[in-house]
Structure 1
Amino acid sequence: MFESLTQRLSGTIERLRGRGRLTEENIRESLREVRIALLEADVALPVVQALIERIKVRAVGQEVLKSLTPGQALIKVVRDEMTAVMGAQAADLNLNVPAPAVILMAGLQGAGKTTTVAKLAKHLKEKRKKKVMVVSADVYRPAAIEQLKQLAQQVDVLFFPSSADQKPEAIVKAAIDDARKSYVDVLIVDTAGRTSIDEAMMAEIKALHAAVNPVETLFVVDSMTGQDAAVTAKHFGEALPLTGVVLTKTDGDARGGAALSVRYITQRPIKFIGVGEKPDGLDVFHPDRIASRILDMGDVLSLVEQVEQQVDQDKAKKLAEKVAKGKKFDLNDMRDQLEQMQNMGGLHGLMDKLPGMGQIPDSVKSQVTGKEVPRMVAIINSMTRKERRNPGLLNGSRRARIAKGAGMTPADVNKLMKQYQQMEKMMSKLSGGGMKGLMRGMKGMMGGRGGMPFR
């Protein structure tokens, strides 16, 4: 998400960063570039105008021009105002009500509503330790009920059955009764996809809302529709008392216009962003972290949280102890690291959270397809235990055998071994406490001068 906007802005930001002195003319010129970049990212015009005006007012005042580092001060102003436009801070769900807390999900057809219901159920179960039940009130698409049933089994939450011949209000009232009896904390209601111009369908969801009185009414919208997402959310907000927005398919949205437009136009907070199809692909929306990512400063906080949640702490501790004792980092250790990286979304999933990625050419970034890590693991799995423990054994004939077993070429095995050597060097530097060595090693994993691994 935001790749094109980040790339466009990173050049402007980089030029500003080193400026020892700024004039009003410099600032006007920079803001012109920021304005064009925002418009190209499909940010709604009123949002662009308001954002540029707010930056300009602060930028030509004492805050920037009288600063000892004016270039950096202006970048901070841009970041602060972008954060403010997106909502200043993360907006939490209001679950402080008598159980069950009912969450009603509304949205257009094809926005990813049913998938988002399952993702939110998993999030509440695992992160908030809630007992969750889901129910489908989509009586127009019988497949939606079956889809939600399967997803509920996948994320291990309760599912309340419904059928196409029932009324949505009757379904949800019965689900609430059952949730009370089952001591459920949160009931998430999936509704039929509708358009804001379909008056009959809008009347139905209004009646459903009035009947069940949910504590949260979330509008699910496809971020790839750009500023149209904000306009649609506004229409729904006029019909329903929305409490927040969930942006879906953000991994396919290179522009990011929806994220910058929705909050300002709807005056409703973006509470979550959805990534991919997997059940764990739902993140709390942090405006400050998103602003940092847009300005190519990375999102190290989210990366740290991701590591804490998804990395096997026991394996990490054992490796740290091994490295600290000066023992050799072998290919078994590398496979463990690669598998943990894959759990965090692979190279592609980590890239947009690392600072400075906007300055890496598209031609290099496009080589990251998501297949790199599984291929590397396949090569290591094709080795014998003895070879994994002692990589020095891997002569030409062994490498040819390993390549054949993994369905790849000896050149692929050679690339893997080159990266193993980089990681092994990195680990040996870490045993001496060298953080710089770690950073250099990460650059090596991202391809370094030799290009991306496994094209």
Structure 2
Amino acid sequence: MLEFLQQKLETVFRNLRGYGKLSEANIADALREIRLALLAADVHYPVAKRLCEEIQKKALGKEALAGIRPGDQFVKIFHEELVRLLEEGEREIRPERPLRLLLCGLNGSGKTTTAAKLALWFRKQRQDVALVAGDLTRPAAREQLQRLGEQVQVPVYAWPDGSSIETVVREGRARGEKERRDVLIFDAAGRLDVDAELLEELAGVAALWEPGESLLVVDAATGQVAVKVAEAFAAKVPLTGLVLSRTDGDARGGAALSIQQVTGIPIKFLGIGEKPDALQPFVPERFVGRLLGMGDIVELVDRAQAELDAQSMEEMAKRLKSNEFGLQDFLAQLRFMKRLGPLENFLALLPGFPGKEAVKVDEKKIKQIEAIILSMTPEERSRPMILNGRRRLRIARGSGTQVTDVNDLLRKFDSMRKMIRRISKGGTGKGWPKLGIPRTLRG
């Protein structure tokens, strides 16, 4: 979602770094380009105007002019102002338990999927969660929520066809209280578009449900349309937060920068993929850091810690130090990286990552590598030096590949193992290998 705006801003900042000092003229030129980039990214005009005015005030101050690298100072000012803009409002989920949460949004916004993602997020916080199937309008909405509930191992309260919305709300609330659930998430009905009937129904549901949190799910790809949707819902429902879905797509990012400022409702979560665990709390500083190409090391570490335990990390370290890193370890590393999500998204968290288009990870190549390694015997994986021509032919046939593919993998693996030895002795690699991503994985 951030790539379009990120590329535009990089060009502006690159030009600024070429100046010896910040002046009123070059600041004005830069701000004009930034304003155009923001508008092209579908940022609401008043928001873009306000942001540029605040940056101009600070960039022309004496403190900003006193530094050695004026271009970097401008980036710092831009970063701080954008973070300040996005930090407004209460983004933390209320700590009171039990918590009744109302989730609303238009059909197609990813509302029901987000309900399951939220349930999993709360479950990971060791909360006892249940979902309430309150969408009685959309065909198969109840069945979809039940399937998602099974995936995330969270119970779903559902009632048969013909039940009234009042019955679902009252009985769902009573059942949650009886079972002493910490969090109860009500998946409300959506519509194809905002209409009076939908809003009146939601207002009635909110009055009966009495939610501690009311979250609106909006599709980040809809740009300023998302802002209008949020305004319409906020007029009838006491919204406490927003969830931006599909932020991993090719949306231009304007909704994320506009919607909070225009509506006054804080963004609380970002949907970053289709999988149940592809939801993260919205942290302005980390979001802006990624926007400005500074990466998000915190999220990268969080993802890694969620997938690796201390014992496996210790065992891997021992094998690296003793030069016992084999093809089985290499396969384990690939599978670990796949669990972190799409590799392009994972790499985008690294500072200075050139973007998905510049470095494309070939998922088919990864599957091919897995097939080749799995076609080897345990001894061959631990001692690849015994792989003669006959064995390589057998492996190629077993994995549905060519002998040249097997040879290419072994050659790349040997280079990677040599690099690991250098690093373990205090040396450094060059280019992409030092990220732990062998070139053979790139398309």
TM-score (norm 2): 0.93
Q: Which amino acid aligns with 1:52?
A: C
SS of residue paired to 1:357: coil
Instruction: Give the conservation status (yes or no) of the 8 Å contact 1:132–1:186.
Output: yes
Hey, which bits of structure 1, 4+ residues long, moved more than 6 A? none
How far apart are residue 396 of structure 1 and its match?
Answer: 4.5
Q: Which amino acid aligns with 1:148?
A: L
Matched, 1:445 2:443: no
Equivalence for 1:379 = 372
Matched, 1:313 2:310: yes
Equivalence for 1:303 = 300
Equivalence for 2:111 = 113
Whole-angstrom CA distance in 2 between matches of 1:383 and 1:454: 23
How far apart are residue 195 of structure 1 and its match?
Answer: 5.6
Equivalence for 1:104 = 102
Q: Which runs of 5+ in 2 are unaligned?
A: none
1:454 to 1:146, Cα distance in 2 relative to 1, 3 A: same
After the TM superposition, which residues 149-188 of structure 1 pair with which residues of structure 2 at under 5 Å, given as runs? 149-188=146-185
- For each residue in 1:397-451, what CA deviation from the matched residue of structure 2 results, as whole angstroms up to 9, or x when unmatched? 54343233222333433443343234313321332244x439752357263xxxx
1:62 to 1:417, Cα distance in 2 relative to 1, 3 A: farther
SS of residue paired to 1:193: coil
1:274 to 1:148, Cα distance in 2 relative to 1, 3 A: same
Equivalence for 1:293 = 290
Instruction: Give the conservation status (yes or no) of the 8 Å contact 2:89–2:265.
Output: no
- How many residues are treated as equivalent by the alignment? 443
Task: Return the match for 1:329 from 325, 332, 335.
Answer: 325
- For each residue in 1:143-193, what CA deviation from the matched residue of structure 2 results, as whole angstroms up to 9, or x when unmatched? 111111111111111211223311222212111111111111000000111
Whole-angstrom CA distance in 2 between matches of 1:281 and 1:161: 25
How far apart are residue 349 of structure 1 and its match?
Answer: 2.6
Q: Which amino acid aligns with 2:132?
A: V
Whole-angstrom CA distance in 1 between matches of 2:262 and 2:393: 59
- For each residue in 1:216-259, what CA deviation from the matched residue of structure 2 results, as whole angstroms up to 9, or x when unmatched? 00000111111211221122112211100001111113421111
SS of residue paired to 1:218: strand
1:172 to 1:361, Cα distance in 2 relative to 1, 3 A: closer
Equivalence for 2:91 = 91
SS of residue paired to 1:190: strand
Task: Return the match for 2:414 from 415, 421, 437.
Answer: 421
Equivalence for 2:141 = 144
1:73 to 1:88, Cα distance in 2 relative to 1, 3 A: farther
SS of residue paired to 1:51: helix
How far apart are residue 356 of structure 1 and its match?
Answer: 1.5
How far apart are residue 10 of structure 1 and its match?
Answer: 1.9
Matched, 1:189 2:186: yes
Equivalence for 1:406 = 399
Q: Which amino acid aligns with 1:416?
A: L
SS of residue paired to 1:252: coil
How far apart are residue 20 of structure 1 and its match?
Answer: 4.6
Q: Which runs of 5+ in 1 are unaligned?
A: none
Root-mean-square deviation (Å) = 2.2
Whole-angstrom CA distance in 2 between matches of 1:114 and 1:184: 20
Whole-angstrom CA distance in 2 between matches of 1:63 and 1:89: 29
Whole-angstrom CA distance in 2 between matches of 1:161 and 1:379: 46
Whole-angstrom CA distance in 2 between matches of 1:239 and 1:95: 25
Equivalence for 1:282 = 279
1:17 to 1:370, Cα distance in 2 relative to 1, 3 A: farther
How far apart are residue 351 of structure 1 and its match?
Answer: 2.1
Instruction: Give the conservation status (yes or no) of the 8 Å contact 1:323–1:430.
Output: no
After the TM superposition, which residues 13-32 of structure 1 pair with which residues of structure 2 at under 5 Å, given as runs? 13-17=13-17, 19-32=19-32
How far apart are residue 196 of structure 1 and its match?
Answer: 6.0
- For each residue in 1:25-54, what CA deviation from the matched residue of structure 2 results, as whole angstroms up to 9, or x when unmatched? 222222222222222212121221111111
How far apart are residue 292 of structure 1 and its match?
Answer: 0.8
Instruction: Give the conservation status (yes or no) of the 8 Å contact 1:223–1:253.
Output: no
Whole-angstrom CA distance in 1 between matches of 2:57 and 2:35: 15
Instruction: Give the conservation status (yes or no) of the 8 Å contact 2:416–2:438.
Output: no
